[in-house]
Chains A and B, each alone.
Chain A
C-alpha cells in the first residue's frame, strides 16, 4: 500500500502510540498520495490482452539460467598512422569529371596577364609533386571534384604574379622584399592565395620555404629541447626542423642541387667540403635531426648570401629570390602546449623555429632579411584559429600604419584598458621603416570576395567540368554571388558542387 506521508520531509510521522489494528480490507484501497506531482496525472498503461501475461508456458524451464556473455572477436585496429593518412589524404584528380578543353597551365607568360582574370589556370603536372612536398594542398579544399587541380585567377593573383615577375626579372625591382600578412573571412581563399604564390615561385625557380600549419609546432606533437646551455629558455624542435628541411629540399631540389656552399659553417659538427651542394647540406639535417637546427641556419645563411666568403669564389652562383609562406599565424601568438622544466607553459615566441620566422617580419639588420629579394606571405586562418586579442590589435596597427596613421597619431589603435595584451605579440608586428630601400615594410592584405565576372568564370568551370547541369546565366551567377556572401569563393564552391537537377519545363 502506498504510504501516505512524505518520506523526504517526514511531515506526517506516525505517532508513538501503537495504532489501532484495523481489519484488513478485502477490496483494494486507493490512497491519496501526499504529493500531487505530475507523474501521478499520467494515464496508467493499458492492460495487455489476457493470455499474454500469464506465467511460464508449458514445457519451459522454470529455473533461473544465467546468460553467457557473448565473446566477440575484437576487430584488429588499423595499423598505426593509417587513419591519419586517410584523414590527411589529398586527392587531386577526379576521373569522372570532364576535361576542360582550353584550360591553360600557369606559366611565366600568363601569370602577369590581366586578361585571364576570372579564368581557371591549371597547375602543371610536374609542379604538383613540388606543391605536395611543401604541403600547399589541404585535405578539405575540394581538389578532388575536378579532373585536375586549377585555381581561379583573381585580381590579387594577377597583382601577385606581377610582383613575382618583377622581382625575378625586372632590374628595378631586383632584390625587393615584400612582407605581407594575408587575412580575410573564412573560405575567402587565403590558403589558395599562398598556393598560387608558391606555384608562381616554382615557375620562376625561386626557393620556397613553407610552414603549412603553424599549429603543428605548438601542439606538443613534436620533440623539443632547450636550445643550448647558454640560453636554456629558448627551445629547439629538431623533428619539426628536419621536416621543414625535408619539405624544402624535395620541393626545391632542382634549384638547391645547383647551388654550392659559399662559406664555412663552424656550427656544424663536421666541416663541409668546398663543393657541397645546398641539397647535400640540407640532407645532413634530415638524416640527423639532432643537428637539424644548425643545418637549417647554415642553409638559411647560404640562401641569403649575396657574395661568397674568401676562397669560395669559384663555385658561387647568385642565389634566387625566396618565397616564405606561413599558414595559420594565430597559433604562434599564444602559449604552446610545451612545458618548461618548472612545468610552466612555453610561449610560442620562445621556440627558436617560430622566432626565426617572426624575425623576418622585422626590418633586417644592415641588410634586408632576404637580400636576394623575395616575398613573405603569412596567412591567418579563419576556421582554425584561436581568438587572440593582441593579434587583432597588432593587425589593426599594421593596417593603420599602412594607411599612414602612425603611433604618434591619436587614431593609432590601442588595446582597451585592462585587456592585458600580450606585449610580445604586439612587438612582433611593430616594424619600422627599413634602412634598406628595397625592403618593404609589413603590410596587411585583406582578401575580399571575388567579383561577379570572376565568379562567372568559376561557375562556368564547374559547368564545363560536368559538375553543374545548369545554364550559367548572368542572373544565376548573381544569385549565387549573393548567396555566397558577396563572392566568398569557398561558399561559391559549395554552391557549385551541390548537384542540382534543373527543372524540366
Chain B
C-alpha cells in the first residue's frame, strides 16, 4: 500500500484520502444533499474525482483493523507484521494527520449547517505554531498548520446557535489556554460634561484630545489651529478624522500634544481625535478605518548603531 512508503507526508496524505470513501464538501454553495458513497465501493474510485480535493468521513468504517495487542505469554504467537493503531503511523507527522483527518471528518459531517460572517463568529485565540508543535509533539510545517487553521476557522463559523456539542469540544482543543480575546476592556464613555477623551501617538509625539459637541472650534495646547500649525497640510491632517466623516462643524476639539515635531504632533492629534470620536459615535469605525485613522503607525526612529553614522548609514571610506 502507498502509505507504507515513508517517502513523504504528501504521498501518505494522498493515499490515506484515497483509501477512504470520498465526497466533495468544501464548496459552500452546494447545499443539496450529495449522495454519500457507500462503503462497499471503497476499492474502485470514480475517475472524475481523482483531481478534486476530497475528505474522509466518519460515517464509513475504516478498512483496516489494528492488530490485537501482543500476547507475550505465548512466545510462539508472533504476527508476521505489526499493524499500527493509526493509519498515518508511517507518515512523518502521524498525530497531526490524525487531527487533520478528524477535523476534516467533522467538517464533512457538518458542512450543511448554516454559517455566519467572519465578524459575527466568536473570536478564538488559536494555538500559535510553536504551541501546536508542543501540543502534538511533532515538527509540523507552517503551511500545513495554516491549512488546519483554515478548517478550524470554517468550523468556528458555524452558527453558534446550531453548533453541535462535539464540534465545539473539538475546536476548544486548539484554543490557547485562557482565551485572551475573552476579556475585553470596558468601552470608553462620554463623561458627565459631554467630553470624550482619546489618546494618540505618532513618531515621538503623543496627544490627548477631548471632543465635545460644538461648532468646529479647535484648540491645540491652548492655541488656535493656525497658531499651532502654520502649515495647511498639518491643519488638514489634525482634523482629518472629523473631516473625512463630515463631522468638522459638529464637534469642538481641545487637544494637548507634546513631543516630536510638527508633523508628528498633527498626526498624533488625528489619531487622538479619531478615538475620541469613536466614543461619541462607535458606528463610525468602518468609515474611520477607511480614512486610515484607526490603524496605528507604530514606526519610531530607528536607533543609531555603533560603527554607523546614523541608523544604517556607513561612513565614507578613507584610505588612511
- A43 near B248 (CB under 8 angstroms)? no
- B226 near A479 (CB under 8 angstroms)? no
Answer yes or no: A471 CB below 8 A from chain B CBs: no
- A41 near B248 (CB under 8 angstroms)? no
Find chain A residues with CB under 8 A from B249 CB. Answer: 475, 478-479, 481-482
Contact with A along B291-314 (1 / 0, CB 8 A): 000000000000000111100001
CA distance A481 to B242 in the complex (A): 14
B226 CB contact (under 8 Å) in A41, A185, A475, A498: A185
Which one, B17-25, B44-52, B69-77, B217-225, is touching chain A?
B217-225
- Closest Cβ of chain B to A485, distance in Å, is 3
Which one, B60-68, B113-121, B232-240, B259-267, is touching chain A?
B232-240
- A38 near B307 (CB under 8 angstroms)? yes
- B226 near A491 (CB under 8 angstroms)? yes
Find chain A residues with CB under 8 A from B225 CB. Answer: 482-483, 485-486
- A488 near B226 (CB under 8 angstroms)? yes
B317 CB contact (under 8 Å) in A43, A483, A485, A491: A43
Answer yes or no: A45 CB below 8 A from chain B CBs: yes
CB closest chain-A residue, reference B226: A485
CA distance A45 to B309 in the complex (A): 17
- A41 near B307 (CB under 8 angstroms)? yes
B320 CB contact (under 8 Å) in A2, A486, A494: A2
- Closest Cβ of chain A to B216, distance in Å, is 4
CA distance A2 to B318 in the complex (A): 13
A-B contact number at CB 8 A: 67
- Closest Cβ of chain A to B22, distance in Å, is 52
Point out which of A186, A485, A486 has the most chain B C-beta atoms below 10 A from its C-beta.
A485
Find chain B residues with CB under 8 A from A145 CB. Answer: none
Answer yes or no: B227 CB below 8 A from chain A CBs: yes
Find chain A residues with CB under 8 A from B217 CB. Answer: 482, 486
Find chain B residues with CB under 8 A from A41 CB. Answer: 307, 314-315
The residues in A between 457 and 495 inclusive whose CB is less than 8 angstroms from any CB of B are: 475, 478-479, 481-486, 488, 491, 494-495
CA distance A491 to B234 in the complex (A): 14
A39 CB contact (under 8 Å) in B216, B226, B315: B315
- A482 near B216 (CB under 8 angstroms)? yes
CA distance A147 to B236 in the complex (A): 30
Size class of the B contact interface (CB-based, 8 Å): 20 to 34
The residues in A between 23 and 60 inclusive whose CB is less than 8 angstroms from any CB of B are: 38-39, 41-45
Find chain B residues with CB under 8 A from A38 CB. Answer: 306-309, 315
- Closest Cβ of chain A to B245, distance in Å, is 12
CA distance A485 to B248 in the complex (A): 13
Answer yes or no: B316 CB below 8 A from chain A CBs: yes
CA distance A39 to B308 in the complex (A): 9
CA distance A43 to B316 in the complex (A): 8
Answer yes or no: A187 CB below 8 A from chain B CBs: yes
CA distance A482 to B306 in the complex (A): 47
CA distance A2 to B225 in the complex (A): 60
Find chain A residues with CB under 8 A from B317 CB. Answer: 39, 42-45
CB closest chain-A residue, reference B316: A42
In the complex with contacts A38-B309, A39-B315, A483-B236 CB distance below 8 A:
yes
- A42 near B236 (CB under 8 angstroms)? no
CA distance A42 to B309 in the complex (A): 10
B248 CB contact (under 8 Å) in A482, A491, A498: A482
B216 CB contact (under 8 Å) in A2, A45, A478, A488: A478
- Closest Cβ of chain A to B252, distance in Å, is 10
CA distance A45 to B308 in the complex (A): 17
A42 CB contact (under 8 Å) in B232, B248, B315, B320: B315
CA distance A491 to B246 in the complex (A): 21
Find chain B residues with CB under 8 A from A482 CB. Answer: 216-218, 225, 239, 248-249
Find chain A residues with CB under 8 A from B290 CB. Answer: none
CA distance A229 to B50 in the complex (A): 120
B314 CB contact (under 8 Å) in A42, A488, A494: A42
Answer yes or no: B243 CB below 8 A from chain A CBs: yes
- Closest Cβ of chain B to A364, distance in Å, is 39
- Closest Cβ of chain A to B151, distance in Å, is 44
- Closest Cβ of chain B to A318, distance in Å, is 46
- Closest Cβ of chain A to B279, distance in Å, is 20
CA distance A56 to B232 in the complex (A): 58
CA distance A39 to B313 in the complex (A): 12
- 20 further A-B contacts with Cβ under 8 Å, apart from A475-B249, A482-B248, are A38-B307, A38-B309, A38-B315, A41-B315, A42-B318, A43-B317, A44-B317, A185-B226, A475-B246, A475-B248, A478-B248, A479-B243, A479-B249, A482-B218, A483-B235, A483-B236, A485-B226, A488-B226, A495-B232, A498-B232
- Which residues from chain B sit less than 8 Å from chain A, CB to CB? 216-218, 224-227, 232, 235-236, 239, 243, 246, 248-249, 306-309, 314-318, 320
- Which residues from chain A sit less than 8 Å from chain B, CB to CB? 2, 38-39, 41-45, 185-187, 475, 478-479, 481-486, 488, 491, 494-495, 498
9 contacts between A and B (CB under 8 A): A42-B315, A43-B314, A475-B246, A478-B216, A479-B248, A483-B232, A486-B217, A486-B225, A495-B232
Nearest 10 interchain pairs by C-beta: A485-B226, A478-B249, A485-B224, A42-B317, A482-B216, A41-B307, A485-B225, A42-B315, A39-B315, A483-B235
